[in-house]
Structure 1
Amino acid sequence: MTLIEIDKARYRKHLNQVIVACVIALTAISLGVAQLLIYLFPDADGSHFHWNLSGVVVACLIIAGVLKKYKSHSFMTEVSYVWDLKQALNKITRKMSKLKQAAANGEVEAMTAIQYSYAGSRQLWQLDDNTITMDDLALWQSELDALASKYQVEIRAENYHESILDKY
């Protein structure tokens, strides 16, 4: 996955609209389905927990299907990009300890994956206004830059591809 610059204002606006739509849909669909099931299959004891739970499950499935179907719509471009980026970064994070060991031994592919992770994290944190950990990220980046300098290699996030992780 290639890192691309996205419009922060458009991303935040569309993300908020998607979240609000999902909350409204979850509420309406789950209540509607639960009420329909309670009407069709009344319980003499008055306990309708299983019907309410069924309504929530059905609503979640419907919302997930709609989000998947419209993921490639132009309205969802930035939101989908961020979701995909978070998934890519999670894959790297799960292998980060092995990647750091390999990078310490001079493996360029490991350094490339780490560089991509840092660049992607920086972008995400700026989009979400999560600037608290930016100082830590700068420290980690300087450590990675020192390793690249030590082994006299140039590392670029653009050279990252997911298949690098198969080694680790």
Structure 2
Amino acid sequence: MQLREIDKPRYRKHLNYVIWACIAALTIGSLAIAQLFILLFPDQSGSHFHWNLLGVVVTCAVIGSVLNHYRRHPFMTEVVYVWELKQALNQLTRKMAKLKKAAEQGDVTALQAIHFSYSGSRQLWQLDDNTITMDDLARWQTELNALAEKYQVTLDVSRYDPASLKQY
């Protein structure tokens, strides 16, 4: 995955639309499906928990398949990019302890991966207006830059390869 600039207002607008559409679809769909099953298969005891649960599960599956189907639509470009960025950052976070140990030893791949993680996190936090830990991120980036200088490594986010995480 490569980091790229995205239009924050467009991203926020489209994300909010997708969230609200999913909420509406989940509410309407799960109630409609549950009511249909209750109508078709009434329970004399009055407990319809299993039909309500099935309505939610079926509706979630439909929403998931619709989102997957439209993931390449231009409207979803920014939203899908951020979802994929979050997945990439999550993979890096799970390996961060090992990456930091390798970076301290001068491992170029680890240094590039950590740099990608910090750059991606910065972008993500700015897009989501989550700037509380930006000071910590700046400190971590300074420490990483010192390591890169020590080992004479030029940090470049475009040099990060997700497949390289398998070695850690």
TM score, norm. by length of structure 2: 0.99
* CA deviation vs aligned residue, 1:7-62 (integer Å, no higher than 9, x gap): 00000000000000000000011000000000011111100000000000000000
Listed as ranges, the gaps of 5+ residues in structure 1 are none
Distance 1:33 1:128 in 2: 34
Distance 1:37 1:77 in 2: 37
| Structure-2 residue corresponding to 1:107 | 107
Listed as ranges, the gaps of 5+ residues in structure 2 are none
| Structure-2 residue corresponding to 1:120 | 120
Q: How does 1:38-117 map to 2 (within 5 A)?
A: 38-117=38-117
| Structure-1 residue corresponding to 2:130 | 130
Aligned residues: percent identity?
Answer: 66
Distance 1:165 1:86 in 2: 16
- Give the number of aligned pairs: 168
Higher mean alpha-carbon deviation, 14-23 vs 152-161, is at 152-161
Distance 1:155 1:141 in 2: 11
Segments of 4+ moved more than 6 angstroms: none
Partner AA of 1:99 in structure 2: L
Distance 2:4 2:102 in 1: 27
Q: CA deviation at 1:131?
A: 0.5
TM score, norm. by length of structure 1: 0.99
**Structure 2 counterpart SS, 1:44:** coil
Q: CA deviation at 1:139?
A: 0.6
Distance 1:149 1:112 in 2: 13
Distance 2:143 2:40 in 1: 63
Q: CA RMSD in A?
A: 0.5
Q: CA deviation at 1:166?
A: 1.0
